[in-house]
Structure 1
Amino acid sequence: MSGTITAGVDGTDHSLAAAVWAAAEARRRGAALRLVHAWTWHPLDLPIEADAGTQERWAHDLLRAAESRVTAAEPGLPVSAHVLPDDAVPALVAETRRTGLLVLGSRGHGALVGYLVGSVALHVLRQAESPVVLVRDPGEAGEGPASDEVVVGVDDVTEEGDRVLEFAFEAAQARGARLRAVRAWSLPPVFARSPGSLRLADEAGGLEPLEKRRLAEALRPWRQVYPDVTVAEHVEMGSGAEVLLSTGGRAGLLVVGRRTARRRVGHVTHAVLHHASCPVAVVPHP
């Protein structure tokens, strides 16, 4: 990961919570924190004068307030603040090309629709080239995390999914926390069964033991790279979203993947983003 963690701020409680979370993560990883606010002049229908100069001052004031908040939370942390002269989505997507991690606020609006994720965050997630963490305002996240555990959903057990596992192991090591690797499985439809897949299941003693073996094999090289990280393996029959939310919805951090070729957020990741009360990291991978 790059030596810089970036937090996008817009003055909302969610973005300030994201900035504080990013500051703590930067401290854990020995990284610098970069605060950014995307601003370009647009005429505003306001009862007070808001020309370009006024709006630009607001943008800098907003950043100064965020900087004060994070330096109070993490004294001594290297922090820089920057106004990005562009609209929010292209500016933040460009940031993912230069930073190791982008942290954004997840905009909820109360208990009834608090699971909604802001449209800017979703657009950025679809195009991001680095991992993105969405953080809720603690006041709207219910009871908050139940543990410091890092939970990772392991859908792809091939080498293409290694970026997700690498991020999860690194996050667990930085926290001194246990990593829980979760794999959901379901019975394949009859038309999808092949003699080869049935043979593998028979050799493993059934479908569930086969999935446990696949998960263990995917984790093995990363256990060797991060020998100090305690790993719990969880394999459960059910939908990916339900299994992940039941085991990791209130973890310290929940890590999921996103395939870069699809330019969209998969249904499991989408459900987790909307319903998990803890910070959610979305890691792009091939």
Structure 2
Amino acid sequence: MTRPVTVGLDGSAAGFAAAEWGAREARRRELPLRLVHAWEWQPYAHAPPVGADAPRLWSERVAREAAAELRRRHPELSITADHLAGPPSEMLCDVARDAELLAVGTAGIGGLAGFFVGSVAMSVVAHTERPVVLVRAGTTDEEEHRFASDDQAPSTMPYRPVALGLDLSRPCDEVIRFAYEAAAVRAAPLQVIHGWSPPAFFAYGVGAEQNWQADMAVQETEEMRAALGPWREKYPGVEVIEQSVIGNSAHHLVEAGATAGLVVIGRRTTRPWAGAPRIGHTAHAVLHHCPAPVAVVPHT
């Protein structure tokens, strides 16, 4: 079964940015595009001035009008538009099951504050078992490329790198595969970022006379190369840039997002404790502050 690239629309500028990103991704992967808008009826304390049916009629137009515009921009792309009735987060998790990936939009709230990730998007990221890509409002085709000039078509411009956050304590095939495939379809380099921290006792001077930082850096780099070795063989055409850095990887991934076309991180779906699904602190920080689109790939 061919899985489409699916986009969840909410009628906002961020939603349409996600739809445009999804259209380009569908073209790159040679997949169909599916646009979905979910509408949940809300009771009114009083009759709305424009009529009780106005919100529903507007909702029905969201995906239809976005599809018409994207067909004009991407005439070679197969596009379907669906209007669903029900809680948006539940509906999007539902459609994500049959999708190659699900894209949703996030709103910018200023360079220092980061980006606003709504409750629907956060719920979908936390609950779905398919990759979810969050696209910020204002993302354009040119921002995915390293160079943009008036006389150069986007299709001929080199892509910005794909950045991957790699956790060596549990390197996950699903996350690594997604990042390599994203780099491969773009013919872009893959920037692999592994953040690590020294043992706590180093902070208190124990063993300070030894060149521990250099030794640990070498060890971490060797472990990263070993983890990526089989993937280099599977994707020999992908240029890999390895970065083994001290500290939490979230900060380094947000920095990489300034020059990357896509940032890829993982999310664990199994936990040793009971409770509702949640997003880890690294993913949470990257989602709220990374300027590039962020792909969250669930894994066990």
Range class of TM-score, shorter chain: 0.7 to 0.9
Q: In structure 2, what is the equivalent of residue 154 of structure 1?
A: 166
Gaps of at least 5 residues in structure 2 are 147-159, 203-210, 272-276
Cα 1:279–1:77 shift into 2, 3 Å: same
Q: What is the Cα deviation at residue 114 of structure 1?
A: 4.7
Structure 2 match to 1:43: 43
Mapped partners of 2:178, 2:267: distance in 1: 13
Q: CA RMSD in A?
A: 2.4
1:71-220 mapped onto 2 (5 Å cutoff)? 71-111=71-111, 113-138=113-138, 147=146, 148-156=160-168, 158=170, 161-190=172-201, 206-220=215-229
Structure (1 or 2) with the greater helix fraction: 1
Alpha-carbon displacement from aligned partner over 1:123-148 (angstroms, at most 9, x marks no partner): 11000110000001117x9x956741
Q: Check if 1:224 corresponds to 2:233.
A: yes
- Runs of 4+ displaced beyond 4 Å: 110-114, 143-146
Give, in angstroms, the shift of residue 210 of structure 1.
1.0
Q: Which amino acid aligns with 2:49?
A: P
Find the aligned partners of 2:185 and 2:145 in 1 and give their Cα distance: 19
Deviates most, 173-182 or 100-109: 100-109
The number of residue pairs the alignment matches comes to 271
Q: Distance in 1 between matches of 2:165 and 2:178?
A: 12
Contact 1:186-1:239 within 8 A present in 2 as well: yes
Tell me which residue corresponds to 2:257. Answer: 248
Q: Report the CA distance shift for 1:146/1:184 in structure 2 as closer, same or farther (over 3 A).
A: farther
- In 2, distance between residues paired with 1:163 and 1:210? 24
Provide the C-alpha distance between the structure 1 equivalents of 2:131 and 2:270, rounded to a whole number of angstroms.
Answer: 15
Residue aligned with 1:256, SS: strand
Residues 7, 36 of structure 1: 8 Å contact kept: yes
- Asked whether the 8 Å contact 2:257–2:291 carries over to 1, the reply is no
Determine whether 1:281 maps to 2:290. no
TM-superposed CA distance for 1:158, in Å, is 4.1
Task: Indicate the percent of aligned positions where both proteins have the same amino acid.
Answer: 42
Q: Report if aligned partners of 2:194, 2:244 keep a CA contact under 8 Å in 1.
A: yes
Residue 158 to residue 41, structure 1, CA distance change in 2 (3 Å): closer
Q: Give me the whole-angstrom Cα distance separating, in 2, the residues matched to 1:111 and 1:50.
A: 39
For structure 1, the 5+ residue unaligned runs are: 192-200
* Aligned: 1:272 with 2:286: yes
1:31-72 CA-to-partner distances (Å, cap 9, x unmatched) read: 000000111322346321023xx4432222111211122222
Q: CA deviation at 1:108?
A: 3.0
Structure 1 counterpart of 2:226, one-letter code: E
CA separation of 1:245 and 1:110: change in aligned 2, threshold 3 A: closer
User: What is the aligned partner in structure 2 of residue 33 from structure 1?
Assistant: 33
Opposite residue 90 of structure 2, the aligned amino acid is: P
Tell me, in whole angstroms, the C-alpha distance in 2 between the residues paired with 1:42 and 1:156. Answer: 46
